[in-house]
Structure formats: C-alpha cells, structure tokens
Structure 1
Amino acid sequence: MLLWINGPHGGGKTQTAHEILRRLPGSVICDPEHVGFGLHRMLPPELRGDFQDLASWRQGVVEILHLTLTEHDGVVIVPMTVTDSGHFAETVGRLRELGHDVRHFTLLAQRETVLKRLRERGFGRLLRYVAGKNSGLRAESWAVRRLDHCLERLREPEFAEQLWTDHSTVPKTADRIAVLAGLTLGPNNEGAVRTRLRQAGVGLRHIRFD
C-alpha cells in the first residue's frame, strides 16, 4: 500500500508522514522532492522552475515508487504536494494503473492556520541566516505565494480524501489516516514535550541549504 499525503506547503505532510513511520513497523518514507532537488542541481539557477513540470520528475517518481512498492514488504509513505491535474494523473493515477493500492489524502487547513505553521519554522529561518544561506527564505516565500492556489485546487473532488487539520494534532491526523486506510498504528505513548522536540528534529532535518 502507498499512502500519498498531499496538502499545501506548511500543511503538515512531512510531520504526519514521520508520525506514521514512527508508529507503523515496516513502513518507509519515499520523498519525491529528492528527485526534484537532484534535477534542480543539474540545471543552472536561471533554468530552475517548478521541477514538477519536468516529465523526468514525474516519470522518475513513478519508476522509483513502482520499484519500492514491488520489492518492499511494507507501507510506503509519500509526503508530496501535487495540485496540477495532469501531474496528479501521471503520478498517483499512473501508479494505480500499474496495479498498486494507492490511498491519497489531502491535509487542509484555513489560510491563517497554514501561515501560522509557516511562521513557526522561525528557528530554521534563523539557522539559515546564521549560516549565511537564504534559499530557505525564498522557499517559504514561494510557499506563501502558492498558498491560495493550493488551498483552492486541493478542495476539488479529484484530490479526495480531504482532512481538515486546523484543530487536530499531528498524532491525531496520523490516526485518522490510518483508520481510513485500514491500518493499525502503534500506541502514541509520547509526552507533549518529547513530541515537540521530535517534531522540531524532523523540521531541522528537512531544512534545505541549496
């Protein structure tokens, strides 16, 4: 089974994916952004647009996920924003055509909620500033510019199943996805402090410096 977790940038995809990973033995995370980052690094800066527009990204993601789903005996978790109908058909749709059990979920929240979550990445922004890097700042600005488009597109029926997360914690969102997918997660025995520390660690590991 593949769990594709969609949603706007800052909507909680990565944190939810890692929560499921933590509590579902045998599961793995396959992040399609790594394919996109690799393609960007092959291009001069002036040619780096939205990597999802590259056919090589869409084809490469399908090839890697098809291989993983075929050879790995466990649930595959994919946190990735996709709002274009054609791109969605060429990734999620294509994997379904290949016979894979793909469960798609879109994490949604009100605009103000997503903006607040983006602002809470402040420690990461400070770290990048101290390190003399500003690519992350540009990435967050890009996320804000795209926010209204993402929220509008991802409410469409083709991006079901939509889950509203304004008043839900990451563990509770993971629980909801598991129930809808027919999966059983291990118990969440973490305290609030440890959860916040672990989530901060996940966020730091996903800071981009290029």
Structure 2
Amino acid sequence: MLIWINGPFGGGKTQTAYELRRRLPGSVVCDPEHVGFGLRRMTPPGLRGDFQDLAAWRQGVYEVLDLALRKHPGTVIVPMTVVEPRYFDETVGRLRGDGHDVRHFALLAERGTVLRRLRERGLGHAVRFVAGKDAPLRRESFAVAKLDLCLSRLSGDAFGEHVGTDRLTVPQVAEHVAASAGLRLAPATGGALRARLRRTATGLRHIRFD
C-alpha cells in the first residue's frame, strides 16, 4: 500500500509521515522532494522554477514509487504537496492505474492555522501578522505564496480523502490516516516531551536552503 499525504506547505505532511513510519513496522518514507531538489540543483540558476513543472520530476517520482511498491514489503509513505490536477493524474493517478493500492489524504486546516504552523516550525522566511494580514519578515515565502491556491484546490472532491487538522495533534492525524487505510499502528509512547523533541528533530532535518 502507498499512503500519499497531500496538503498545503506547513500543513503537517512530513510530521505525519514520520509519525506513521515510527509506529508502522516495515514502513518507509519516500519523499519526492529529493527528486525535485536534485533536478533543481542540476538546472542552471536562471532556468530554475517549480520542479513539479518538469516532466522528468513526474516521471521520476512515478518510477521510484512503482519500484518501491513492487519490491518493498511494507507500506510506502509519501509526503508531497501536489495541487495541479494533471500532475496529480501523472503520479497518484498513474500508480492507481497500474493496479497499486494508493490511499490519498489531503491534510487541510484554516489559513490562520497553517500560517501559525509555518511560524512555529522556523522556516527560513518567517511570517508575522500585521493588521490582520500576513507579511514576510524578509520576503514572501514560497509556502505563503502558494497557500491560498493549495487550500482551494485540495478542498475539491478530486483530492479526497480530506482530513481536517485544526484541532488534531500529529499522532491523532496519523491515527486517523491509519484507521481509514485499515492499518494498525503501534501505540504512541514516550510522553509529550519526547514527542515534541522528535517533531523538532524531524523539522530540522527537512529544512531546505535552496
């Protein structure tokens, strides 16, 4: 089975993915951003854009996930924002068309909740509220610039199953996803402090500088 965790940037995809991996024996996280950032680094700076616009990214993601689903014995977990319907069809849709068991979940939250999470996770370009509007401390971040589009697109029926996360913790979101997919998670252990430290470590490992 493949669990694709979609959602806006800052919506909790990566944290949920690694919570699932920790509590689901034999599972593995396959992050399509690695393909994208490899392609980005290979491209001359003046030609760089959104790596999802590259056919090579969609093809590469499909091929790696198809291989993982055919050869890896456990659940494959994919945290990745995809909001363009055609790109969604060329990745999630194509894998399903090949007969793979792909469960897709869109993590959704109120705009203010996502902005708060972006601030709290300490990305390179923090966001603050000024007179009720979000204003970048340095320059408008990619995450904030895409937020409204992500929330609008992912709310559509084509991007179900939807999971409202405003009032859920990361373990609760993971448990919801697992239950919907018919998977049994190991119990959450270690206490609140250890869980916070794990989330902080996961966030630090996934900060991007390019």
Common fold: TM-score over 0.5: yes
Aligned to 2:146: 146
RMSD, aligned α-carbons: 1.7
Matched-pair contact (CA < 8 Å) for 1:124–1:204? no
> 1:64 Cα shift?
0.3
Whole-angstrom distance in 1 between the partners of 2:145 and 2:109: 16
Counterpart for residue 57 of structure 1: 57
CA contact (8 A) 1:16 1:170 kept: yes
> 1:138 Cα deviation (Å)?
8.2
Percent of aligned pairs with the same amino acid:
67
- 2:44 aligned with 1:44: yes
Tell me the residue number matched to 1:133. Answer: none
Aligned equivalents of 1:34 and 1:108: distance in 2? 23
Number of residue pairs matched by the alignment: 200
Residue of structure 2 in register with 1:130 after alignment: none
Q: TM-score, normalised by structure 1?
A: 0.92
Could you tell me which residue of structure 1 aligns to residue 24 of structure 2?
Answer: 24
Could you tell me how far apart the structure 2 residues matched to 1:178 and 1:205 are?
24
CA distance in 2, matches of 1:169, 1:197: 14
1:6-65: CA deviation from partner (whole Å, max 9, x where unpaired) = 000000000000000000000000000000000001111111111111000000000000
Alpha-carbon distance between aligned partners in 2 of 1:194 and 1:14, rounded to the nearest angstrom: 17
CA–CA separation in structure 2 for the residues paired with 1:205 and 1:152: 29
> In the aligned structure 2, how far is the partner of 1:60 from the partner of 1:44?
20
Partner residue, 2:33: 33
TM-score (norm 2): 0.92
Structure with the largest fraction of helix? 1
CA contact (8 A) 1:15 1:202 kept: yes
Distance in 1 (CA, whole Å) between partners of 2:162 and 2:113 is 16
Q: Which runs of 5+ in 1 are unaligned?
A: 127-136
Per the alignment, do residues 167 and 72 of structure 1 end up closer, same or farther by CA in structure 2, a change over 3 Å counting?
same
Q: Distance in 1 between matches of 2:106 and 2:122?
A: 25
**Counterparts of 1:124 and 1:48 in 2: how far apart (Å)?**
19
Quick check: 1:116 aligned with 2:108?
no
Q: Distance in 2 between matches of 1:139 and 1:96?
A: 39
Q: Secondary structure at the match of 2:186?
A: coil
Q: 4+ residue stretches of structure 1 with deviation over 3 A? A: 123-126, 137-140
Instruction: Provide the C-alpha distance between the structure 2 equivalents of 1:140 and 1:4, rounded to a whole number of angstroms.
Output: 28
**Equivalent residue number for residue 170 of structure 1:** 170
Runs of 5+ consecutive residues of structure 2 not aligned to the other structure: 127-136
AA aligned opposite 1:81:
T
Provide Cα deviations, 1:159-189, integer angstroms capped at 9, x if missing partner: 0000000000000000000000000000001
